Structure 1
Amino acid sequence: MGGSRRLLFVLCFLRQVFYAQTDVPLLANSDFFTLNPTQTTITLEKPICMYRPAITVYLYGMVKGAPVLPLYDATTKKVFATNYSATNGGQLGPYQVASFNNPTCDNSIVLSNMADPTRVQSILTATTVRVGSDVGCLTDPNFKGICNAPLQSNTGYRFKYLFMDINNAVISETDWSPPIVTVNGNPSSTIDTWPGRRSGGMIVLTSILSTLVFIILFAYVVGFIFSIVNETPATEVQRHDTQSVPVLPKPQEIGDVTFSSALTGQERERYVAKQQA
């Protein structure tokens, strides 16, 4: 019974070694990384549940066509400390790109969790590795360690995973991936800004839109100024009590004579003489 269990364990171990050696680093899911590769970066999937006994994983990379040099000592299984600068960015041979803890099967990610904005970044960090994400390691003269420097545009790169045990010795590895080519970026000096290269319709449309915008802005400014100039402050009608004293008509007594002010002087004299007689 014990021999059967040991045999089963050996078979499982050899199966994991076989799959690890036949598998290769792959591009990350295009559903989450629509722009991959870019001009200077390549995002790869981490080897989740690829080789359980490993503690740490090393990612190596090199430019397509570079010599495939040994990555570790065949006797001690210790990796060679090759870096970005020493290999001229992978053109002279493989270099260490990154290292991380071996993702176990318990870290399997449910895609539905990507709908939670608070978990997106942690999920991407646990499942992917971005090659070319470190800019500062090239400019810092005191930097020591693995330099994950930006990649060259329009260049093919190949990658390999090494699986390390608790003593940091290689216990398994994948094959080199097929070349993954970064995006071809045009230098800014090659961008044509001469209007002669633009179509006539585009120039006419741009001119019309610019004129309309200017007219609208000018009308708005004129209307605003006109409203300020013609605006008069509101005045309140002042109210006060009259100071005039009403004059009451004098009661007419018997014998008083009233006559119209419309009579002429001669008519008035004749009328008065007649009354006296």
Structure 2
Amino acid sequence: MKVPCLLLCVATVIMGLASAVPFSSLSKLPAFSFFGNQDNIIGNRMGYSFITNIPSCISGAGYTPASILLAVSTSAAVPGVSNTDAIKSLLNDSRAQVYYAGQFNTVPCRVSRDVVQVSSKAADNSFTLTTVLGYQVGSEVCTSVKGLYCNQVLEPGTPYRVNFFILDASNVIRAYTDWSDIVTTLNVTNNAQLDSGLSRRSGGMVVITVLLSIALFMLVPALIATLVVGREKSPLP
């Protein structure tokens, strides 16, 4: 009799975690800039994905923020959902219009970090400097995902909205950020068609390249002349 009881207890816990949470019972975080990286990185919006900021610090009233669920809406309109039960996992409902793309740990308020990172090492490899960029929405093929959620590759030229749900240490949703403004993926299917933003920098890069080339051509003859003069002035053995 112990085994059926254990199974019943586990089923009860799972059903409790899966129960709907009305938005009205959640705290709403202040206005958040979801796409503040527009001028800071190349490829913020691609044909099949885009990058959104994540909260660098969350202070919970009466609870400790532990993780964040990222929800995605595939419509330009604000999703008409009033509880978390309306947000699906694509692994359970492949046609879901509003779905969870992934879950990751929150950041202590004394630290700033993210999931998508750029790291640079010191010349002597003594340390690594990590720069936070954001969370990439649209990076997975659902048939290859083994977790709870699928961060599905997005459709080109399609509007999306995102929302962050804050969970406590018991994996209970306690707050949310509300839905973002619309972000539309680029209407391209070939990376060669993407405007990476380098065109804005090309003029300055050309000038720098020319100056370095001129400096190199001036240094080489000067070095040769220095060697010749040095030989002429050196005393004969």
The correspondence for 1:155, drawn from 158, 162, 167, is 158
| Kept after mapping to 2: 8 A contact 1:51/1:163 | no
The correspondence for 2:107, drawn from 103, 107, 115, is 103
Counterpart in the other structure of 1:173:
176
When normalised by structure 2's length, the TM-score is 0.54
SS in 1 for 2:131: helix
The correspondence for 2:80, drawn from 68, 73, 82, is 68
Percent of pairs with identical residues = 22
* Alpha-carbon distance in 2 for matches of 1:84, 1:65: 23
- Higher helix share goes to which structure? 1
Larger Rg: 1
- Residue segments in structure 1 that go unaligned for 5+ positions in a row: 1-16, 74-78, 189-277
2:84 maps to a residue whose letter is Y
The Cα offsets for residues 165-207 of structure 1, whole Å up to 9 and x where unpaired, read as 111111111110011000001579xxxxxxxxxxxxxxxxxxx
The Cα offsets for residues 119-142 of structure 1, whole Å up to 9 and x where unpaired, read as 45x433xx521111123xx233x8
Counterpart in the other structure of 1:38:
46
Q: 1:115 to 1:151 in 2, by over 3 A?
A: closer
Counterparts of 1:235-274 in structure 2, within 5 Å, are none
Aligned length: 152
Q: Following TM superposition, by how much is the alpha carbon of 1:103 offset from its aligned partner in structure 2, in angstroms?
A: 1.3
SS in 2 for 1:26: coil
SS in 2 for 1:139: helix
- Residue segments in structure 2 that go unaligned for 5+ positions in a row: 1-26, 123-127, 192-237
Counterpart in the other structure of 2:139:
133
| Kept after mapping to 2: 8 A contact 1:43/1:130 | yes
**CA RMSD after TM alignment:** 3.1
Counterpart in the other structure of 2:228:
none
Q: Which protein, 1 or 2, shows the higher relative CO under an 8 Å CA cutoff with sep ≥ 6?
A: 2
The Cα offsets for residues 40-81 of structure 1, whole Å up to 9 and x where unpaired, read as 1111111111334311111000112465334425xxxxx965
* Alpha-carbon distance in 1 for matches of 2:94, 2:81: 11
SS in 1 for 2:110: helix
Q: 1:164 to 1:25 in 2, by over 3 A?
A: farther
| Kept after mapping to 2: 8 A contact 1:71/1:94 | no
1:178 maps to a residue whose letter is D
1:154 maps to a residue whose letter is G
- Higher strand share goes to which structure? 2
